[in-house]
Amino acid sequence: MSRTLGVLISGRGSNLQAILNAIAEGSLDARVGVVVSNKAEAQGLERAAKAGVQAVVLPHKDYDSREAFDEAVLARLKEYDVDVVCLAGFMRLLSPVLVRAFPGRILNIHPSLLPAFVGLHAQRQALEYGVKVSGCTVHVVDEELDHGPILLQAPVPVEEGDTEESLSARILEQEHKLYPQAIQMVLDGEMRVDERKVVAI
């Protein structure tokens, strides 16, 4: 598999930054071909510019349907010959238009140990539930929210007195290590998806 990533963002872009850093340090053997943001104000766009990476803004509100938006995203990913798509804080549910165009090659990072705490505010959900360990998950994207086969997970302890901010920061540190590692795994073809499980080959 060749090694061009497309990174989809909506905001801060710290996971995009972690991917760019891992590439610069040589621990991730890939290039970011294009960053696509559905928000013009996303801070991640500045990170892309700083790294000299192409970035495109596609405001989802400009499109009549989820599918029409995904068609536009797909066209950009194809234009830049993307092999693997990385969702990095991308706040849009993908339709089958995108999921089926990149079978097994769209990854997402989520700030909980899935299948616990899907959706928004996963760290707040973890605190409210009272778990003692949370963490982060990189998984292959399917058509359900935060649901596809799990590639890698990292546990993170919940500490006495944690707030949403402090727990999020501790999890984020692990996210930044885990995501480049999982991407490299996929690029190396060290896994295949069997039913809903990712198995080593």
Query: Cβ 40 to ligand GRF, closest distance in Å?
Result: 15
Distance between CA atoms of residues 105 and 139, nearest Å: 10
Which residue is nearest to ligand GRF, using beta carbons? 89
User: Any long-range contacts for 183-190 (C-beta under 8 Å, 24+ apart)?
Assistant: 183/5, 183/19, 183/28, 183/30, 183/84, 183/86, 183/107, 184/27, 184/28, 184/29, 184/30, 185/151, 185/152, 186/84, 186/105, 186/107, 186/151, 187/1, 187/3, 187/29, 187/30, 187/83, 187/84, 189/1
Contact 55, 45 (CB under 8 A): yes
* Minimum distance, C-beta of residue 148 to ligand GRF, in the bound complex (Å): 14
Quote the least distance from Cβ 38 to ligand GRF, whole Å.
12
The answer to whether 89 and 43 are in contact (CB under 8 A) is no
Nearer to ligand GRF, 6 or 11 (CB): 11
Please identify, using beta-carbon distances, which residue of 60 and 71 lies nearer to ligand GRF: 60
Least Å distance, CB 110 to ligand GRF, is: 5
Q: Which is nearer to ligand GRF, 11 or 33 (CB)?
A: 11
Burial 150-182 (b: 16+ CB within 10 A, else e): bbbbbebebeeebeeeebbebbbebbbebbbeb
In the annotation, is 110 catalytic?
yes
Interface ranges with ligand GRF (CB under 6 A): 11-15, 88-89, 109-111, 172, 175
Distance in Å, CB of 170 to ligand GRF, minimum:
11
- Tokens 């766009």 correspond to 45
Using the minimum distance from each CB to ligand GRF, give the nearer residue, 14 or 95: 14
> Which is the catalytic residue, given 110, 139, 147, 176?
110
**Which is nearer to ligand GRF, 71 or 177 (by Cβ)?**
177
By annotation, the residues acting in catalysis are 110
